[in-house]
Chains A and B, each alone.
Chain A
Amino acid sequence: MQSRWDIGEPEKPTINKDTEQLKSELLTLNMGPQHPATHGVLRIEIWTDSEVVAHAIPHLGYLHRCMEKHAENLDYRGVIPFVDRLDYLAAMNMEWTYVAAVEKMLGTEVPRRGELIRIMTAELQRIASHLMAFGTYALDLGAFTPFLYAFEEREKILRLFEEVSGARLLYNYIWIGGVWNDWTDEQLARVSAFCDTMEEEAKKYNELVSMNKIFVQRTANVGIFSLQDCFDYGATGPVLRGSGMKWDLRKNAPYSLYSEFDFDVPVGEAELGQVGDCWNRYYVRMKEVIQSIRIIRQVLEKLEPGSVMGKVPKVIKLPKGEVYMRHECPRGELGIHLVSEGDSKQPYRLKVKSPCFTHTSMLPRIAPGQMIADFVASVGSIDIVLGEVDR
């Protein structure tokens, strides 16, 4: 049994004192690539001693689409549809990060209404993404119904996005210089109505799933990342906040107009379980939904009529140089490193720093000593999207 990475013989887990005495060999199992609990095509090679995981090795690359290399042969506008496909559940945030990087090099001024609409779409997308995380996490743990409830609300957001951009998942909506289309008053009224129902729904979800005894037993005190682990691996987003660190780029390094907004950064407070476990990571997301609603309400108050698209040259050519732009996406900190050679229509290099990739690399850290069912809960709680891991 030789792995690709020579890590030596893993220690046998010592959970059960009865089996400790028995001589048994570790069994290699493949979880995935098409396992419903792995959220896409992630293959995890797990070495198990009966029900207990001794070691887990994530194998990546099943969804590799060569996006970074493709981007080197496309003009700056043409990259946006490819950036969409990184994290297909939060495409708006992905677009915005890339577009912000280009705008920073280009020195484009985005009109205030355009910037506010960007914030609103990004927060709506965050809600949609967290709803998906909530639904699929319940699905991982064997509850099918919450998935349908989450999709009912998510559908309203997707319908709004479809009306303004034309697509339901891969929008190509946030453009260099602004956004493609303006929102009508009727659509904004529906956003406002959505915020009201979403608050009610969030309470319902908490009653149905978050506080449910079975769910709590499955997730609380399971898969604990200490704060030191998070620093060592470079975790960001809800994983870091679930471990008790109050770090959010919207607050700590405000980009766009986020400094004008009043919102809290939820952290894992161990209402149940302990800080850094699956339940706290999950519950941070539920609390973030409420904060996103607060931001959207403030956007709706601040919106004034105006242009949504700034002045951009017809053919975009960036000056020589490079830029690193990072935004707070639903799954963590997305970084876009863009290098331009100058006087070229295409980027010289586009490197994506993906939060999910970091979080996937943390799986071997929590796997040893866990039951297989708990490992499934741990994989679900870090909420990875493989499109972003493999790129």
Chain B
Amino acid sequence: MSTAVEQNSSFKNYFSGLFNGISTTLKGMWITFRYVWAVKPVSIEYPEVREVLPERARMRLFNDSQNCISCTQCAMACPVDCIYIASEKLPEGSEIKKTSNGQAIRLKLTQFTIDTALCCYCGLCTTVCPTECLTHSHDYEFSQYTIDTMKYDYLAPDVKAWRDRIVKV
């Protein structure tokens, strides 16, 4: 196998190399030039046009606190410990509510906070949830100025509006 320097030394190799260079460059330029008319653009102009996310897309977590039974399985499954749950016993004689799939809510949920800045969006918490109240929403535009505001308290009254919040133009 000869090196590049030796190849160029011969007169014949010089011209064949020249021809090879021009022909391969033209071939490549033709491939690129075809994109002017023959290939449709695939890029999306993001803020104006939005891609429809697949159903399983894992974006910001959302907890439907009405259906939560405070079992803390999601907090235990979380590999980065970003779910903070606190609950207390229901007062004596109070009515035991049921979740939408029929499980009894025996504890009163007092805190359900997810630190989305810490969350790694792996989806392990949603798979262990027995009442399927913890789900991934399709909201991916929730950047904030400070890291404190990335903590989402799912017992806050205004939180229900977030469930279907996908910023629309």
Q: Which residues of A contact B (CB under 8 A)?
A: 74-75, 77-82, 84, 145, 152, 155, 159, 162-167, 170, 172, 180-181, 204, 207-209, 211-214, 217, 220-221, 270, 273-274
User: Which residues of the other chain, A, contact B21 by a CB distance below 8 angstroms?
Assistant: 213-214
Picked from B3, B4, B79, the residue with its CB within 8 Å of the CB of A81 is B79
Asked if A166 and B17 sit within 8 Å, CB to CB, the answer is no
Asked if A208 and B124 sit within 8 Å, CB to CB, the answer is no
Asked if B58 and A213 sit within 8 Å, CB to CB, the answer is no
Asked if A208 and B3 sit within 8 Å, CB to CB, the answer is no
Let me know if B107 is at the binding interface, CB within 8 A. no
Let me know if B54 is at the binding interface, CB within 8 A. yes
Let me know if B56 is at the binding interface, CB within 8 A. yes
Asked if A213 and B25 sit within 8 Å, CB to CB, the answer is yes
Question: Cα distance A152–B41 when bound, in Å?
Answer: 10
Chain B, Cβ-Cβ closest to A210: B24
Asked if B77 and A207 sit within 8 Å, CB to CB, the answer is no
- Give 4 A-B pairs besides A152-B42, A274-B1 with Cβ atoms closer than 8 angstroms: A78-B78, A145-B32, A170-B120, A212-B28
User: Which residues of the other chain, A, contact B78 by a CB distance below 8 angstroms?
Assistant: 78
Beyond A163-B56, A166-B54, whether A207 also contacts B27 by CB under 8 A is yes
Asked if B42 and A155 sit within 8 Å, CB to CB, the answer is yes
Ranked nearest first, the 8 interchain pairs of A and B with the lowest CB-CB distance are A78-B79, A213-B21, A81-B122, A166-B58, A166-B56, A163-B54, A274-B1, A172-B122
Picked from A74, A75, A159, A204, the residue with its CB within 8 Å of the CB of B31 is A204
Chain B, Cβ-Cβ closest to A220: B4
Residue of B77, B120, B136 with most chain A CB atoms under a 10 A cut-off: B120
Question: Cα distance A152–B31 when bound, in Å?
Answer: 15
Asked if B1 and A167 sit within 8 Å, CB to CB, the answer is no
Let me know if B103 is at the binding interface, CB within 8 A. no
Within 8 A of A (CB), among B1-29: 1, 3-4, 17, 20-21, 24-25, 27-28
User: Which residues of the other chain, A, contact B120 by a CB distance below 8 angstroms?
Assistant: 81, 170
User: Which residues of the other chain, A, contact B25 by a CB distance below 8 angstroms?
Assistant: 212-214
Question: Cα distance A159–B44 when bound, in Å?
Answer: 14
B interface, how many residues as a size bin? 20 to 34
Asked if B28 and A166 sit within 8 Å, CB to CB, the answer is no
Let me know if B57 is at the binding interface, CB within 8 A. yes
Asked if A213 and B122 sit within 8 Å, CB to CB, the answer is no
**Smallest beta-carbon distance B40→chain A, Å:** 11
Question: Cα distance A82–B122 when bound, in Å?
Answer: 9
Asked if A81 and B124 sit within 8 Å, CB to CB, the answer is yes
**Smallest beta-carbon distance A273→chain B, Å:** 8
**Smallest beta-carbon distance B28→chain A, Å:** 5
Within 8 A of A (CB), among B70-85: 77-79
Beyond A81-B79, A155-B42, A163-B56, whether A170 also contacts B122 by CB under 8 A is yes
**Smallest beta-carbon distance A157→chain B, Å:** 14
Chain B, Cβ-Cβ closest to A222: B4
Asked if A213 and B17 sit within 8 Å, CB to CB, the answer is yes
User: Which residues of the other chain, A, contact B77 by a CB distance below 8 angstroms?
Assistant: 75, 77-78
Question: Cα distance A167–B25 when bound, in Å?
Answer: 39
User: Which residues of the other chain, B, contact A159 by a CB distance below 8 angstroms?
Assistant: 54
Picked from A155, A213, A273, the residue with its CB within 8 Å of the CB of B20 is A213
Question: Cα distance A167–B27 when bound, in Å?
Answer: 37
User: Which residues of the other chain, B, contact A164 by a CB distance below 8 angstroms?
Assistant: 56
User: Which residues of the other chain, A, contact B3 by a CB distance below 8 angstroms?
Assistant: 221
Chain B, Cβ-Cβ closest to A156: B42
Asked if A172 and B124 sit within 8 Å, CB to CB, the answer is yes
Picked from B27, B53, B79, the residue with its CB within 8 Å of the CB of A79 is B79
Beyond A77-B77, A208-B32, whether A162 also contacts B4 by CB under 8 A is no
